[in-house]
Structure formats: C-alpha cells, structure tokens
Chains A and B, each alone.
Chain A
Amino acid sequence: MLNILDDTANPVEPFLRGDRMPHIWCPGCGIGTTVNSFARALIDSKIDLESLALVSGIGCTGRVAGYVKLDSFHTTHGRAIPFATGLKLANPKLNVVVYSGDGDLSAIGGNHLIHAARRNIDLKVICVNNLIYAMTGGQTAPTTPSHATTSTNPYGTFEPAFNLPHLVEAAGAVYVARWTTFHVRQLARSISEAFQKKGFSFIEVISPCPTLYQRRNKMGDGLDTMKYYKERSKIKNGAPTSEVGLTLNGEIVVGKFVDRDRPDYQTMMRAQYVEILGERYIEESEMECVCG
C-alpha cells in the first residue's frame, strides 16, 4: 500500500477542513482547482482571515463553504447574495466573498445578482460556471449553451444562454473577469485584484462537469475539457462583454473585461444621509451599543 508522504507543505492546507477531505466532487471536476486559486489569492493579498467571510448557496460549488477553514456560511438555494449583503451591511469591515455556482447565482438567485450589481454592494462574487445544474442531475441551466444535450433537453437545448459578464456589467458591476480552470494563476491574480476593489466584483470561472455535461455531450472527461480550454480559450482583456458569449465547443474568450470605479452602496448611503440629516447622522463606527 502507498503511504501518505508529506502533506505539511501544501499551501492550500491551512485553508481547508482536513477532517472533511476527501471532498465529494467528481474526478475531473474543476471546483477544487478554483479553491486552489482562491487560497493562493488569499495568501498573495495578505488578507486578514479574521475579517473574511465566505458565503455560498446550494449546489456542487455551494459545498466550498463547508470545506474551507474560514468563517463560512452555507445558505439557502440562490440566496447567497442576500445573506452576504446582510453580513456586509451589519459589519461593513468584513470582506465578504460569495462563492457559488452558475445555477445558484444566475438562475435561482438571478434577481439578487443583478440587484447586488445595481446597488454596487461591496461583494466579491466568484461564480463557478459548469454550464449545467450538476448536483440535481444535469438539467438545462440558463448558462447551458444552445444545442447542448442535457437530461431535460435530450434533443438539445434551443434556448439562448446567459452571457454572465455582459449581464453583470450592464447591471453595474465594477470588476468583471472570466477565466477557466486552466488559467489557475490568472484566476488567482484576478481574485487578488478583486479584493483591492470596492464594489461589486464578479469573476466567472468556466469549469468542467465531466459526469453530467461533458459525458452527455460526448466531450470526454475532465482532462479532455482542460485541454479544450487550453486550445480554444483566447485572452482578450478589455473585450466588450457583449461579444464574449459562450457557444457549444466554440472559442472561450477569457480575461479581465471591466475594471471601473463607482461609489459603492455604503458610500452612497452615507452621502445621502449626511446631505439630508447633517449632524443628526451618526456614523455606525461612532455608535455605542447600549443593549447591555
């Protein structure tokens, strides 16, 4: 039998709940790879882990909250952003990361996504997009590209898919990027950059789902998908997001699409209250709790 050699040096280990390993993600699934990049970004950005909260919804990616050794929050389906908004409003000093899947963020919680972007709430949203509802059995999701075969569309989907970077840019996000699980170092850098931004940051990560998406569409396994990402993805930083939609087996445009500045929700709230209330407005940091 092979022995455990040495796992003390793995830089991702301090961020994981070792007692919950091995995780349930399938062989060839890319979610673990995104967690690696996230951990590297936390190390590189030297963020205080005491001031970090990770919120996720339901789904394969939603399980990240249970596997990371951070203050994490596994919420109801689609409601990761509302819970994260509450956290951020109650404690503005927190760095709140929403780590969830495409189904949770853009379908069940699609409304919350666009309104959080519109209000420019200071959240870092990492959306792992595997192009399908994976945990429930491979049903068509709003992000499934046209003509892909799924369990609910055995003759191929015919709906146009969501172009998530375009959606969140139009809704008002200040930072929008897309990478695949092949672009591990670029993804880590992007997450670090998002931590420097104040406002709604959205990073989409295209990830393989070998069990449901790739298998039904005869695209091979996780490794074949990673090779496809390597061959067919094109880095176009600053590309207009209207042109970065995904197609079945087509080119994947990746890169940092939007990096702009706009006052965030709490800045706008403070400005409004100071203007209307003047000295009667008391900053939250100056308030004292008298609740005994």
Chain B
Amino acid sequence: MAKGRVSIVVERCKACGFCVEFCPTHVLALSSAFNSKGYHPPHVVHPEKCSGCDLCGMYCPDFAINGTKVPQSGGGAK
C-alpha cells in the first residue's frame, strides 16, 4: 500500500512541470487532457510509489497539488 497520495486541483494548474520533474519517486506525468485554460495538468501514473513527502506541493507555484501521508494500517504494514 502506498505511503502517500497526491491531490491535484487541475483548474489551477499551469503545466510548468515542476512537480513531474522533482518528484523523488517519479509518481507523476503531464497528462494529455486539457484543463479549461488549455494547460495539461499532471496525473498520477505510479500511485503505489508515492511516499507523501509533499515535495510536489512545495514546488507547485500555482498551489494546485499536494501530497499527504496515508496512515498505515496497524502492525507496520508496508
């Protein structure tokens, strides 16, 4: 189970690609879909790799993405 998950507000995205480039575990890619302003927002391609470090949220200049830690189910399950 993934340690984290990513939330994306696609309408705020301006497709700068910072999150895709600097995600340490390469969870994201720019999608081929458009938002209403004509930008390609990122989408999650490897959800299982997300560590919830929130580096995407730190880099996003448009406040459109953030990562959160997912509480792991008891017994230290990975």
Residues of chain A whose beta carbon lies under 8 Å from any beta carbon of chain B: 1-7, 9-13, 16, 21-23, 25-33, 35-37, 40, 184-185, 188, 221-223, 226-227
Contacts and interface: CB of A to CB of B under 8 A. Distances in A.
Given A2-B35, A7-B7, A10-B63, A27 B58 contact: no
Contact of A11 (B10, B14, B66): B66
A7 B33 CA distance: 20
B16 A28 contact: yes
List 8 A-B pairs, minimum CB-CB distance, nearest first: A32-B61, A27-B14, A184-B58, A10-B66, A2-B10, A6-B7, A28-B16, A223-B17
Interface string B1-42: 000000111111011111001100000000001011101010
Interface residues of B, number: 30
5 contacts: A10-B66, A11-B66, A26-B14, A27-B39, A188-B58
B27 to A, nearest CB: 15
Nearest to A36: B58
For the residues of A in contact with B, the DSSP-based class is loop
Contacts of B63: 10, 12-13, 16, 21, 32, 35-36
Nearest to A12: B63
A36 B62 CA distance: 9
Given A5-B7, A223-B21, A10 B57 contact: yes
